[in-house]
């Protein structure tokens, strides 16, 4: 079977990272028919000033799956983030960010194996803000039962499908008794359906951060509202080696977009310097999503082996190789 997947190269270092990932995925036995689509500032002029043309969205809707390189969001003025718009327009309500230690990578922690499930559509990111007079501003935090139960169910279903044993809901319900209280109550409601199969507990977000840096081995899958999810997932990314190795996925009912956590790192654009690991591991998440866990594991193992060998890695991992040579080494592992 051949999978038609939308491929968005992005900008900055995006095109070289996507190319490296495409080559690695093609070295597995899975066959892809790439539907290449461009988005971002580079295509605005041809599209009446629109950085996210409708045909890009149509392609993702039709194919159901996209692999996406990072896209630059100019600061101030300009356009709304293509990345945020994509998630909202396509209803990609779950942001999945696994954080797993990689052997051979120098970090303060060993054997971290956590999965962050972040709600992607509401909370303070609903963007409802206004000034109250000249000297005060209000941001409105939206938490609904529907979105909270949906993300909690996603976390439990992920745990079941991936052999994980526990889900921890993270909140600040002691202070925000209504909004975070509703998030926690929704998680408890959903947890009851998995009683006896998946353990459930909750933690207040500040305590969670302390516990993660002191004893990460106590935790497994974490489910969080949007803002805490944003912060805690970067904390976990830092524990396992930083942005260059942190993969991600945005998943909805009808479509899923796989992309690294990091941005377009424009200062390295075109220099064959950026680390392709995060993007390649995002590709492995896509393989799992498409129903190829064995191939996904092979890609993850090949990435880990090349990093552990330490001779074909990029500058940020202390190695001498460029993006393409790093990918070549992973391809060679897969082909042997």
Residue with Cβ nearer ligand NAD (71 or 114) = 71
> At how many degrees (to 10) do helices 277-289 and 293-309 cross?
160
List alpha helices for 7-76, DSSP H.
14-26, 54-63
> What phi, psi does 164 have (nearest 5°)?
-90, 160
Residue with Cβ nearer ligand NAD (86 or 190) = 86
* CA distances, 248 to each of 16, 33, 208 (Å): 18, 22, 21
Residue with Cβ nearer ligand NAD (70 or 252) = 70
How far is residue 205's CA from residue 210's CA, in Å, rounded to a whole number?
9
| Non-local CB neighbours of 217 within 8 Å, separated by 6+ positions | 111, 112
Backbone angle region of 83, left / alpha / beta, with phi > 0 → left and psi within -120 to 50 → alpha: alpha
How far is residue 135's CA from residue 142's CA, in Å, rounded to a whole number?
23
Residue with Cβ nearer ligand NAD (216 or 276) = 276
Residue where the block lists tokens 């890009």 = 56
Angle at Cα 228 formed by Cα 227 and Cα 232, nearest 5°?
125
Give the nearest residue (CB) to ligand NAD: 263
How far is residue 301's CA from residue 319's CA, in Å, rounded to a whole number?
19
Interface with ligand NAD (CB under 6 A): 70-73, 83, 243-244, 259, 262-265, 267-268, 274-275, 278, 316
Residue with Cβ nearer ligand NAD (12 or 225) = 12
How far apart are CB 167 and ligand NAD at their closest, in Å? 26
Whether 3 and 46 have beta carbons less than 8 Å apart is answered as no
Q: Which residues are catalytic?
A: 125, 172, 206, 230
Q: How many helices (H) and strands (E) does the chain have?
A: 10, 12
CB atoms within 10 A of CB 71: 25
Residue with Cβ nearer ligand NAD (187 or 237) = 237
Residue where the block lists tokens 């690294």 = 260
């Amino acid at each position: 079977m051949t999978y038609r997947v939308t491929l968005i190269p992005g900008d900055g270092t995006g095109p070289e990272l996507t190319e490296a990932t495409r080559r690695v995925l093609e070295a597995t036995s899975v066959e892809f028919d790439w539907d290449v689509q461009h988005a971002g500032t580079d295509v605005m002029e041809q599209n009446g000033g629109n950085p996210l043309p409708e045909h890009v969205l149509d392609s993702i809707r039709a194919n159901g799956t996209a692999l996406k390189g990072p896209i630059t969001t100019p600061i101030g003025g300009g356009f709304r983030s293509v990345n945020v718009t994509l998630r909202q327009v396509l209803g990609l309500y779950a942001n999945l960010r696994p954080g797993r230690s990689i052997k051979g990578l120098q970090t303060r922690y060993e054997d971290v194996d956590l999965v962050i499930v972040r709600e992607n559509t509401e909370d303070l990111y609903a963007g409802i803000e206004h000034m109250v007079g000249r000297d005060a501003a209000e941001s409105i935090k939206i938490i609904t039962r529907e979105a909270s139960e949906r993300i909690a169910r996603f976390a439990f279903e992920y745990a079941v499908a991936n052999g994980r044993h526990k889900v921890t809901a993270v909140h600040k319900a002691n202070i925000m008794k209504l909004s975070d209280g509703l998030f926690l109550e929704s998680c408890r409601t959903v947890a009851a359906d998995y009683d006896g199969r998946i353990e459930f507990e909750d933690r207040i977000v500040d305590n969670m951060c302390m516990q993660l840096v002191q004893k990460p081995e106590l935790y497994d899958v974490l489910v969080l509202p949007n803002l805490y999810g944003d912060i805690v997932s970067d904390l976990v990314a830092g524990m396992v080696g930083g942005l260059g190795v942190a993969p991600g996925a945005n998943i909805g009912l009808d479509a899923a977009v796989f992309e690294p956590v990091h941005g377009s790192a424009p200062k390295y654009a075109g220099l064959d310097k950026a680390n392709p690991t995060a993007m390649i591991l995002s590709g492995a998440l896509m393989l799992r999503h498409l129903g190829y866990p064995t191939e996904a594991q092979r890609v993850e193992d090949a990435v880990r082996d090349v990093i552990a060998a330490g001779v074909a890695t990029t500058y940020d991992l202390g190695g001498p190789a460029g993006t393409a040579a790093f990918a070549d080494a992973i391809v060679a592992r897969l082909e042997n």
